[in-house]
């Protein structure tokens, strides 16, 4: 069963490579892979792959597609997911993975990424520069 899933995933991946960034062109193979992998108990990261492709192929990429990249990274970990999306919008250490992290990890991963904005980036740049002794309006090279 796992060999059939692997063959279908390879076929789906080849289809995606030829799709020009349009995962909808491979929908038939996608549905087949999802049902086969579910029956076999194998994670194929289909939803994460499609989500990342859709994000990077649209105007949503202006937001960085951070959540999609993180979901893809976690799905593809050899030992399984280490972080999971939490109810608060942040992330949580996955069950059974606490030993991989320091005791401070739960509070760090629970934070939410700030929204990107020009004002936010300017404020950060000014505070960072002032922490290095560079005052507002001053330029150093």
pLDDT tens profile 74-85: 999 988 999 888
Label residue 65 by pLDDT band (50, 70, 90).
confident
N-to-C CA span, the chain: 61
What Cα–Cα distance (Å) separates residue 110 from each residue in 14, 59, 120? 36, 27, 21
Burial code (b: 16+ CB inside 10 Å, e: under 16) for 91-119 equals bbbbeebeeeeeeebeeebeeeeeeeeee
Question: Locate tokens 């992290």: which residue?
Answer: 101
DSSP 8-state symbol, 43: -
Residue 141 reports pLDDT greater than 80: no
pLDDT tens digits, one per residue of 26-51: 999 999 999 999 999 999 999 999 99
Question: Helix (H, G, I), strand (E, B), or coil: what is residue 36?
Answer: helix
pLDDT tens digits, one per residue of 92-133: 888 999 888 888 877 777 766 667 788 888 888 888 888 889
pLDDT of the residue at 137? 81
pLDDT of the residue at 85? 86
Residue 71 reports pLDDT greater than 70: yes
Q: What is the pTM of this model?
A: 0.70
Report the distance separating Cα 75 and Cα 20, nearest Å.
Answer: 23
User: Alpha helices of the chain — where are they, by DSSP H?
Assistant: 2-18, 27-40, 46-56, 66-75, 105-109, 118-131
């Amino acid at each position: 069963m796992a060999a059939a899933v692997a063959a279908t995933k390879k076929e789906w991946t080849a289809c995606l490579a030829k799709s020009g960034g349009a995962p909808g062109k491979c929908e038939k193979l996608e549905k087949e892979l999802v049902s086969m992998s579910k029956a076999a108990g194998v994670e194929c990261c289909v939803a994460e792959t499609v989500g990342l492709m859709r994000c990077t192929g649209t105007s949503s990429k202006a937001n960085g597609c951070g959540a999609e990249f993180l979901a893809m990274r976690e799905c593809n970990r050899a030992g399984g997911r280490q972080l999971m999306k939490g109810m608060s919008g942040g992330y949580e250490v996955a069950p059974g993975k606490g030993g991989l992290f320091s005791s401070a990890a739960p509070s760090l991963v629970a934070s939410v990424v700030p929204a990107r904005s020009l004002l936010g980036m300017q404020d950060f740049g000014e505070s960072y520069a002032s922490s290095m002794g560079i005052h507002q309006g001053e330029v150093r090279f």
